[in-house]
Structure formats: structure tokens, C-alpha cells
């Protein structure tokens, strides 16, 4: 127990030190915190059949599988009635993939295969040619190949789900999106922040202006920065964006405390602070005082954790760990402080 507490305390202290250091000193490239509007992945989906299973496919009650097999055979000139055959070696599946921006005809894509019937396992099967469509109902790729259960079908505990699988490079791009112009007219581009923040958007715009001149960029809102393409780069937009993406910017972020109640992990941003308050939790009493922590009085039989309101949440957690508080004690105390308005941070529970 002492080792677990010590390990947890060391983890928290190291995480807090790293978080605080990164929040104050670290700079990110624009490409790490923003992307170009219109440049994104697109989801693809299709319906297909996996054949060659060893009796682990869909049962006769999965009528859509039986009908699909009958329809497929008709395309090859074989006419059979769905009532005349069994499909235990076949499984109906949904096939999904993602089409990257600027994908070209002939590029290969990874695909995920998931059973939609009552098949017990897809192990050893082969996916027959399956067209993959976008949200606009247009065909963009075709998938086919031998499937692999692999690690993608395993959960966090390592347990394999035999009704999901992957085919690395199992789809071929047949049509492109045609977004070489980034989907934007004129001489301006829009950079979209992955984590919208007014301060970060303003810093991005100012950093671009410092590099390419006044009025080169303007923060439109918390999530978008409008960038003017200089005349010298009108025929080389890619080169211009390559330089913009390398510009360093210090990204801002709100104070946040993240809990994982299953594992007892607590991650705290360096900007999180506490206000004066008193929390009683079992035999622990946390008192956040206006002045010096030494002025806090201790009642008989209590373990008191005195903290100054000038301290941050990481100071509070360090104090709790120093007296042997468990991770769940820390989570409960921080949640209580948040509930009474004394924790100046957003709380996220995983």
C-alpha cells in the first residue's frame, strides 16, 4: 500500500511539474494546433460479404445474408433459391474506412470489417469486393482481401472480439475528392484551431503577421484565423502553408482537472487554483486559508491539510499525498471543492 501511494504521488508530482512547465514555456507549431478549413478525412462505408469461414458464419435466420449470397451468385450466372442452401461459411459485414485529404486514385486504405449478423467469428475469412461510399452516396473506394483479427479487435484488457477485424491496405481509392484548391475561393485561407480558444487564435494571427507582414492574418473567432496569401505565393500556396505551419505559437488552455475513477488517475493543469474553503472527508479535513497555512487550527483526532489560497491545486494534491491520502480521497476532495465553487478549474471525468 505504501509503495502504491508513493508511486501515485510520484506520478502526480511529475505530471504536474511537466504540465506546469509545458504550460509556461513550451511552444507548438501552428500545424500541431490548427488545420486548413476543408482539409480533412472523410468517412467511407459499405456492405459486403466475408466468405471462407469455418462454419462460424451467419445462421439461416440471417435472411439478409442468404439473400445477399443469392444475389451475388446471380451476377455470375448461377440462379438458386435462398431456401436451397445454407451460409454457415459466409457472414454479412459492414466495411468502414477513412479517405484522407488529397488521396489519389490507386492509393491504399486500411479498412475495418464488422459483422452485422449472428456470425460467431470472422477468423480466416476473405472479404469479397465491396464498394465504399461517402456521405454524398458517391463511390470512392473498393475493398477486398483476407481479413486479420489482429490487435484492432482486442479491447483494453486484451480480449479479442472475433466479429471485428481489419484489412491493412485492403481498399483501393477509385475516385478523388478534388480538393486541391482547399475548397476556398480567392486569396485567403482559414486556419481552424483543433481546440478553440480566443487567446490562442489571437496569438496565431499575431505570429503570422510578424512573419508575413501586418494584416496578413486576422482572428475571426475562437476557432478560426483568416490568412491572406501573399502575392509572391499566389502560385505556390503549398509552400506558403508549409512556412505558416512551422511558425511557433504558445497555445493557451483553460484550467482543467481530469479524473479516471477506474484507475484512480488524476491529471491537473498548472493553472488550476483553489479559493478559501473547508472540506471534511472521513478523518481528513482540508482547509484552504486566506493567509498562511500555519495559522490553521487542528482539532483533536483530525488530520488537517492546511493550504494557502495562493497555492495551486497541484500544491493541494502534493500536501494530500504527503499524508498518505489515496487517489480516491484526492478525487472526492477535489470534486467537493468544485461543487462549492472553490476549485477554479474545469473537471472532466473519464
pLDDT exceeds 60 at position 14: no
Average pLDDT over residues 171-190: 74
Identify the helix (H) or strand (E) that includes residue 244: helix 237-245
Q: Is 278 exposed, middle or buried (0-12, 13-18, 19+ CB in 10 A)?
A: middle
| pLDDT for the residue 4 | 42
- CB environment 99-114: b (16+ within 10 A), e (fewer): bebebeeeeebebbbe
Average pLDDT over residues 202-216: 93
Cell 450466372, residue?
77
Identify the helix (H) or strand (E) that includes residue 98: strand 91-99
Average pLDDT over residues 332-338: 85
Nearest-angstrom CA–CA distance, 168 and 147: 8
Task: Find how far residue 277's CA is from the centre of its chain.
Answer: 35
- Ranking 228-242, 270-284, 301-315 by mean pLDDT, the lowest is 301-315
pTM of the model: 0.68
Please report how the helices 237-245 and 198-212 are oriented relative to each other, as an axis angle in degrees rounded to 10: 120
| pLDDT for the residue 172 | 97
In CATH, the architecture of 28-39+180-249 is: 2-Layer Sandwich (3.30)
pLDDT exceeds 80 at position 299: no
Phi, then psi, of 58 in degrees rounded to 5 = -70, 150
| Cα–Cα distances in angstroms (integers) from residue 83 to residues 48, 49, 61, 87, in the given order | 20, 18, 11, 11
Kindly compute the dihedral angle of the four CA atoms of residues 131, 137, 138, 144, in this order, to the nearest 10 degrees: -10
Nearest-angstrom CA–CA distance, 240 and 111: 33
Task: Kindly report, residue by residue over 60-89, the tens digit of the pLDDT.
Answer: 888 899 889 888 888 888 888 777 777 889
Nearest-angstrom CA–CA distance, 338 and 330: 12
Q: Is 295 exposed, middle or buried (0-12, 13-18, 19+ CB in 10 A)?
A: exposed
Give the residue extent of every domain in the chain.
2-25+254-349, 28-39+180-249, 42-173
pLDDT exceeds 50 at position 13: no
| pLDDT for the residue 1 | 43
Task: Kindly report, residue by residue over 217-226, the tens digit of the pLDDT.
Answer: 999 999 999 9
| pLDDT for the residue 291 | 59
- Of 282, 272, 265, nearest to 311 (Cα)? 272
Q: Are the beta carbons of 195 and 256 closer than 8 angstroms?
A: no
Range ranked top by mean pLDDT from 130-139, 293-302, 311-320: 130-139
| pLDDT for the residue 86 | 75
- CB environment 304-323: b (16+ within 10 A), e (fewer): ebbbbeebbbbbbbbbbbee
Identify the helix (H) or strand (E) that includes residue 45: strand 42-51
Position 284 confidence tier, pLDDT thresholds 50, 70, 90: confident
Amino acid at each position: 500500500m505504501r509503495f502504491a501511494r508513493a508511486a501515485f504521488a510520484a506520478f502526480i508530482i511529475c505530471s504536474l511539474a511537466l504540465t506546469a512547465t509545458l504550460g509556461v514555456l513550451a511552444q507548438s507549431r501552428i500545424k500541431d494546433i490548427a488545420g486548413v478549413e476543408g482539409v480533412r478525412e472523410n468517412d467511407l462505408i459499405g456492405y459486403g460479404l466475408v466468405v471462407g469461414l469455418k462454419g462460424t458464419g451467419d445462421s439461416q435466420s440471417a435472411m439478409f445474408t442468404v439473400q445477399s449470397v443469392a444475389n451475388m451468385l446471380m451476377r455470375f450466372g448461377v440462379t438458386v433459391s435462398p431456401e436451397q442452401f445454407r451460409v454457415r461459411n459466409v457472414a454479412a459485414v459492414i466495411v468502414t474506412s477513412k479517405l484522407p485529404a488529397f488521396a489519389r486514385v490507386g492509393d491504399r486504405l486500411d479498412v475495418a470489417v464488422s459483422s452485422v449478423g449472428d456470425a460467431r467469428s470472422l477468423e480466416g475469412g476473405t472479404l469479397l469486393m465491396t464498394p465504399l461510399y461517402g456521405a454524398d452516396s458517391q463511390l470512392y473506394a473498393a475493398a477486398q482481401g483476407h481479413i486479420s483479427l489482429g490487435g484492432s479487435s482486442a479491447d483494453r484488457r486484451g480480449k479479442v472480439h472475433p466479429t471485428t477485424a481489419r484489412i491493412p491496405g485492403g481498399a483501393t481509392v477509385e475516385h478523388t475528392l478534388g480538393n486541391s484548391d482547399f475548397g476556398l475561393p480567392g486569396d485567403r485561407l482559414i486556419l481552424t484551431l483543433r481546440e478553440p480558444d480566443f487567446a490562442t487564435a489571437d496569438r496565431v494571427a499575431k505570429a503570422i503577421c510578424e512573419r508575413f507582414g501586418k494584416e496578413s492574418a486576422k482572428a475571426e473567432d475562437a476557432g478560426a484565423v483568416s490568412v491572406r496569401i501573399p502575392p509572391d505565393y499566389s502560385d505556390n500556396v503549398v509552400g506558403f502553408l508549409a512556412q505558416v505551419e512551422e511558425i511557433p505559437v504558445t497555445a493557451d488552455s483553460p484550467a482543467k482537472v481530469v479524473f479516471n475513477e477506474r484507475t484512480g488517475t488524476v491529471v491537473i493543469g498548472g493553472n488550476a487554483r483553489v479559493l478559501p474553503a473547508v472540506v471534511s472527508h472521513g478523518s481528513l479535513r482540508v482547509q484552504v486559508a486566506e493567509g498562511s497555512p500555519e495559522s490553521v487550527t487542528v482539532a483533536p483526532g483530525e488530520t488537517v491539510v492546511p493550504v494557502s489560497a495562493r497555492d495551486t491545486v497541484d500544491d493541494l494534491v502534493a500536501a494530500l499525498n504527503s499524508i498518505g491520502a489515496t487517489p480516491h480521497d484526492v478525487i472526492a476532495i477535489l470534486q467537493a471543492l468544485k461543487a462549492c465553487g472553490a476549485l477554479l478549474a474545469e473537471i472532466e471525468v473519464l
